[in-house]
Structure 1
Amino acid sequence: MKRFEGKVALVTGGRSGIGLATARRLTAEGARVFTAQRGDDREFEAIAVDFTVPAGAAHAIDTVVARAKRLDVLVNNAGMMQEALVEDMSLADWERTIAVNLTTPFVLIKAAMPHLRSAGGTIVNVGSIEGLGSNPKHAAYCASKAGLHGLTRAVAIDHSAEGVRCNAVAPGWIDTDLNVEFIESMSDPKSFRQQIGKIHPVGRTGKPEEVASLIAWLASPESSFVTGQVWTIDGGRMAKLSLPP
């Protein structure tokens, strides 16, 4: 099935994890895919960008349109996380997290909107279940993802009548390289993975390809009546009530 034949997509943070799986999925379905992140990307047409600087986001959109003459799909996936209590986090660290996780998607959407409007395009923002709840010491990350969910709804309200849909996914624990490395750093990785699996009703953590599948559906014509929604993809974790240990 080639749902994106003749379409052009930009995936930020497309060199690893959910971004990489999404870029591969869109490519497999016919899209011409650009990725934007720090450094090079040998698998896709890459745009080197520093997303801590707002001008970098606008540059990414301009580069895609200059090369491909159109833009049909924008996937805002690039993000970062810093752990600290509110009283211990510097203002600079707070602003950096907000810049990458929330301001960058805003600037990308702003720059992309004329092209997406012309193409009848779609936007998919990669939020998090931490936009719905929070883990310890994740104040900046949690706030930025909650903000991204709100931005998703606002953009949908303002632009869906113009033919531009905007949705978000809220992944839970996904086996990205970073999370796998974290598990492997434990004294007993096998036991830790089992414990992590138990907090999910499906009995395991998620795969980047599973999130990419949802993103591709939201970006495709098959979801043409879906906009302004945040789709939780977490193996049922947020639906499960906790029990005493």
Structure 2
Amino acid sequence: MTRKILVTGAANGIGKATAALAEARGLKVIRADLHEGDVVADLSTAQGREELIASVQALTPNGLDGVITCAGLLVSSTTSASLNYFGSVDVLEGLQPLLLKSPAPRVVLVSSRMAYANGADSALVEFYLAGNEKASRERAQDLAARAEAQTESRLVNQLTPLGIYASSKVAIARWTRRAAISPRWGGSGIIVNAVAPGFIETEAGLALREHAVRSQVVRDMHPQVLGRYGRPDEVAELMLWLASPANSLMIGQLLCIDGGTEVLERGDSHW
């Protein structure tokens, strides 16, 4: 039977590559994005997330085999504060009953190499994990205002690991670990994992490198063993395996796919 998967953020970047590769391999793909797709919804809002859940329920009444959450924004803002965490977790919570109908349900979230960079705000991470979106947005707004006051370059600040983006990705990593072993998810047979991409040459990523300051920040933050940055299709390959029945034993992992950035930065001392 053809597996049915939902890919959010499917109009661009990693999400687009994942949806295309999944279809090429014979999967039934439901694409969701802000402006185009099988489901059009703004996942930075509670209403948009509810609309997506209702639409997917209507499209897959007999069950959903997998969800891959790629929707997100790189810059630090209150919109990204909601989208990058609640745009994944709330959608997954709403679709969990559909996943239970699958004989081999899989969930893959997109975290980031920022999840292991120093600089996430602990208070914001805790607001995320508590499910408090209002407090999360307020904290993000406060962090953004303080950071902008401390730097002459708003651009550089938006790319620094000391930001809202990093906090959302740490929270995604921690939610993945918790959900993967919980009765509601792993205990019910739903295998949950996450990937941590480094710098990937998506449309947004390439735009960052067109400016001298941004390009230097990227080089400093994403050292590469192979001397090149990643492609969206390389991340898609990993995520589709994680979302497939072939992945029958890997549970609750945050898999770095970053060209060696994590190894270069952390070495072997954390083992």
TM-score past 0.5 threshold: yes
Cross-structure match for 2:84:
101
Alignment of 1:197-236 (within 5 A): 199-236=223-260
3-state SS of the aligned residue for 1:154? helix
Cross-structure match for 2:35:
39
Q: CA deviation at 1:212?
A: 0.2
The answer to whether structure 1 residue 122 and structure 2 residue 106 are counterparts is: yes
Instruction: Tell me, yes or no, if the aligned pair for 2:114 and 2:161 is still in contact at 8 Å.
Output: no
Q: 1:154 to 1:198 in 2, by over 3 A?
A: closer
What residue identity is the alignment partner of 1:67? L
The answer to whether structure 1 residue 151 and structure 2 residue 180 are counterparts is: no
What residue identity is the alignment partner of 1:114? P
Cross-structure match for 1:13:
9
TM-score for both structures, normalised by structure 1: 0.83
Aligned pair count reads: 221
What residue identity is the alignment partner of 1:76? T
Per-residue deviation, residues 139-180 of structure 1 (Å, max 9, x unmatched): 100000000001111111112121101000000010001111
Rounded to whole Å, the distance in 2 between the matches of 1:198 and 1:170 is 13
Identity of aligned residues (%): 30
TM-score for both structures, normalised by structure 2: 0.75
Q: 1:138 to 1:47 in 2, by over 3 A?
A: farther
Cross-structure match for 2:166:
142
Q: CA deviation at 1:181?
A: 2.1
Cross-structure match for 1:86:
none
Instruction: Tell me, yes or no, if the aligned pair for 2:107 and 2:190 is still in contact at 8 Å.
Output: yes
Rounded to whole Å, the distance in 2 between the matches of 1:130 and 1:111 is 27
3-state SS of the aligned residue for 1:222? coil
Unaligned runs of 5+ in 2: 119-158, 267-271
Match of 1:82 among 75, 82, 85: 75
Let me know the Cα RMSD of the aligned residues.
2.4
3-state SS of the aligned residue for 1:105? helix
Rounded to whole Å, the distance in 1 between the matches of 2:109 and 2:219 is 29
What residue identity is the alignment partner of 1:142? A
Instruction: Tell me, yes or no, if the aligned pair for 1:197 and 1:204 is still in contact at 8 Å.
Output: no
Q: CA deviation at 1:36?
A: 1.4
Instruction: Tell me, yes or no, if the aligned pair for 1:198 and 1:204 is still in contact at 8 Å.
Output: no
Per-residue deviation, residues 76-111 of structure 1 (Å, max 9, x unmatched): 11011334xxxxxxxxx44x3221011121211111
Q: CA deviation at 1:196?
A: 7.3
What residue identity is the alignment partner of 1:22? T
Cross-structure match for 1:62:
54
